[in-house]
Structures are given as C-alpha cells and as structure tokens.
Amino acid sequence: MKTVLLGVSASISAYKAADIVNQLKKRGVNVEVIMTRHSTEFITPLTLQTLAKTKIHTDVMEEHIPSEINHIDLVKRADIFVIAPASANIIGKIANGIADDMLSTTALSVHDMPKLIAPAMNTYMYANPAMQDNLEKLARYGYQLIEPRESLLACGDFGKGALADVDTVVSIIMDTLNQ
C-alpha cells in the first residue's frame, strides 16, 4: 500500500484536506497527516484522524514511539510528500531552510521521493516577488507545483491563489504515485 505524507498548513482551504484524505483513502492509499499549529484552528485534527485512520502529527517534540524519531520515520515510510494547502508562511519556511514546527522540520527531512506543493493564499500574496522567488527555490529543490486557480477568494478578492480543485490535487498525487 502506498503512503502519502500530507502536510496541512494554515489556510482557509485547510478544510479541503478532509476531502483530499477521504479521496485518497477511497483509492486504497495510506495517509499520514502533519498539521501546523495554526491549521488546527481551521480544521480539527480529529476530523482528519477520523478520515485517515492514523494519528495526526502536530508537535515535533512529541514522539509516539520511543524507539523512533517521528519526523524522520514518517518520511522513511512515505512514498510521496504533499503540502496541500501550502500557506505563504510554510512555503517561505521550507524555501529558506527554517525548521521550527513539525511540518517544516519534516519537510527538511524529505529526500528521495516526489514532493508536491499546492499553494493557497490571497492573490496579492501569491503574486508577491518574494513568494515567486520562494516557489522557484522549491522547484530547484525538487518540488512540483500544483498551480493554484483563479477564483473569488475568501477575502473577497478575485485572482490566482485559490487551492487547486481537490480532484486535481488528488489526480496529480495518484499520477505521481503511479509513475
């Protein structure tokens, strides 16, 4: 059984992670979920745990199995690393080597596997030159971008920055897993 290591960061689109997990599980994929602290304010870990049928990881200092280093062993068991939604904050952290929470620390541990990132943020944030530089860095580091879509955003602005449709995200994950 293939395993997706799914990172969920703080975006209004975090609730869509439930659909991503649910669709992956229906396709016979194991899903391990890492949530940033602030993402838990958009969707509860219990929701994702119920769908994934696995413990949700939120704290880099919490080791569930004493003989394992959680952020390393999660990577060793995974076939693909995905962050959906990826906030401007988590993109900036990973692009600049910052490891100060479970998701960013785990991201720096990912090596020989496909890495997908699905941004979700305000259109002005997405278009910002610093954000575009960070995305270029991530591309150099082997991340494949799942392009955000144009939409009416939660803030009322219209433009590119909305999380790609869940079906698109899941399709890209499955295609990548099956390569």
Strands 143-145, 115-119: pairing kind: parallel
Token look-up 């413990």 returns 55
Using CA atoms, how far apart are residues 49 and 97, in angstroms rounded to an integer? 28
Catalytic residue list contains 155: yes
Using CA atoms, how far apart are residues 17 and 29, in angstroms rounded to an integer? 15
Using CA atoms, how far apart are residues 16 and 18, in angstroms rounded to an integer? 5
Task: Choose, from 69, 127, 139, 155, the residue flagged as catalytic.
Answer: 155
Distance from the first to the final alpha carbon of the chain: 15
Using CA atoms, how far apart are residues 54 and 13, in angstroms rounded to an integer? 21
Nearest of 1, 68, 11 to residue 35 by alpha carbon: 11
Catalytic residues: 155
